[in-house]
Amino acid sequence: MSLYDRLVQAYDKQLSHSGVDGVRVARRLSELSKIGITDENGVNRVGFSVEEQKAKSLVSRWMMEAGLHVTEDGAGNVFGKLVGDDERLAAVLSGSHVDSVPNGGHFDGPLGVISALEVVEAWKANGFQPKRSYEVVIFSDEEGARFNGGLTGSRAMMGEIDPEKQRLLKDKDGLSFNEVINKVGLKEEDFFQAKRTIEEIHAFIEVHIEQGKTLEKMDQSVGIVNGIAGPCWLEIIYKGVAGHAGNTPMNDRKDALVAASEFIASVPHLTIVNETCVATVGKIEVSPNGVNVIPGEVTLYVDIRDIYEESRDHLVELVIDCARKIAIAHELVVTIEEKLRIKPVPINTDIINKAGKSLADLNLRPLQLPSGAGHDAMIVGKELPVGMLFVRSKDGISHNPKEWSNLNDCIEGIHALKGLIEQLVNE
């Protein structure tokens, strides 16, 4: 069964109103899903690939058919502009991305782009003309699957790209960044000129699948993001003494893995700092890693996140203190290195309130929830007002062919986006 057939089979057609057409949305999601489709019915559209370029071209055609003026910047970001009544006013932007992780799903990214475009289609059907200009945006390489980076297009637009570091990147095939972007018609010198003047932008709004189970548990189709968590990554190395597993008495060991295991088990209990805090040990390396050898060294990585910087940083301190205390107790050496620290992004209060009104107009609770994952809105939100709406995800599955949001929920999300955008463009 095609994605289109799956989407429309349980669709409530009464949700197609005010110019929003659920069948059109289903058809567009389905057409995008065919670009880079895998044997597992997932999708491969990594950043700066021919597949990502084809997806951008398809959406660009839809933009032009909707009457938008379409442009592409040096980073490959695509903008479809509907000129407002007062061109002197800063524009409202909405969109997401169309690239994917390898064998990813069909909603992460594309739903945000198609939702933003559907607002224009609805306005076109109703003869609505915004006061401010409105732009539908497709950001390049959000997932970062090619260069293990991500959010590339939004970082380029906001002037966050370091040219020296970017030029040094190579993909898994050994191709340089310049070689990769040349294959899709982009030039390095233009890429580093993609920064936009922030005064041109009034706000950015992104619709995205939740990638979690909160909305599903609350039995609600759409929610309002109240903050985007900022990650801090720690590399922790426990150094003990490797030895023979049979000849070393239990009371004469310096087992790095035993200490690391105690630490890993302790981390979840430290997150009581704040109910929105999370911490995960997601990667571990053991040396010598032999069946009959006492582990002499363990390297592990901790991912610590919260939407509030103060509580996130407090949790980081607790994790570091815990790691050191366990090392002392086991008579081991521990080294701790911070690999990454990104500020959490609070969502503009006024936009949260406007989103709440939009949901209330649809008889939906203005339910607020945090985003634990990074999004293009996180990059834009460092300097500009941003907002996000989450659409319910089945079982919270993401980055996987089983990723699914039913069409009813997607269309509810588009109506909520439309109501929010209409408030912003008429300010």
- Tens of pLDDT along 347-361? 989 999 999 999 999
Query: Coil, strand, or helix at residue 13?
Result: helix
Of 303, 322, 341, the residue at which a domain comes to its end is 341
- Residue 414 sits at φ, ψ, to 5 deg, of -70, -40
Q: What is the DSSP string of 184-199?
A: TT--HHHHTT-PPPGG
Instruction: Note whether 355 and 416 are within 8 A (CB).
Output: yes
Does the annotation place 208 within a ligand binding site? Answer: yes
Does the annotation place 399 within a ligand binding site? Answer: yes
The verdict on 287 and 331 lying in the same domain is yes
Instruction: Note whether 290 and 331 are within 8 A (CB).
Output: no
Distance, CA of 234 to CA of 283 (rounded, Å): 11
Q: Which is it for strands 297-306 and 91-97: parallel, antiparallel or unpaired? A: unpaired
Of 323, 341, 359, the residue at which a domain comes to its end is 341
Q: What is the DSSP string of 227-240?
A: EEPEEEEEEEEEE-
Distance, CA of 32 to CA of 92 (rounded, Å): 25
Give the other-Cβ count within 10 Å of 228's Cβ: 26
The verdict on 10 and 130 lying in the same domain is yes
Residue 342: pLDDT band (50, 70, 90) is confident
Q: What is the mean pLDDT of residues 369-386?
A: 92
Total domains, the chain:
2
Write the CATH number for 399: 3.40.630.10
Does the annotation place 108 within a ligand binding site? Answer: yes
pLDDT of 340 > 90? The answer is no
Would you say the pTM of this structure is higher than 0.85? yes
pLDDT of 372 > 90? The answer is no
pLDDT tens digits along 292-303 = 999 999 999 999
The verdict on 272 and 404 lying in the same domain is no
Which residue, 208, 114, 158, is CA-closest to 399? 208
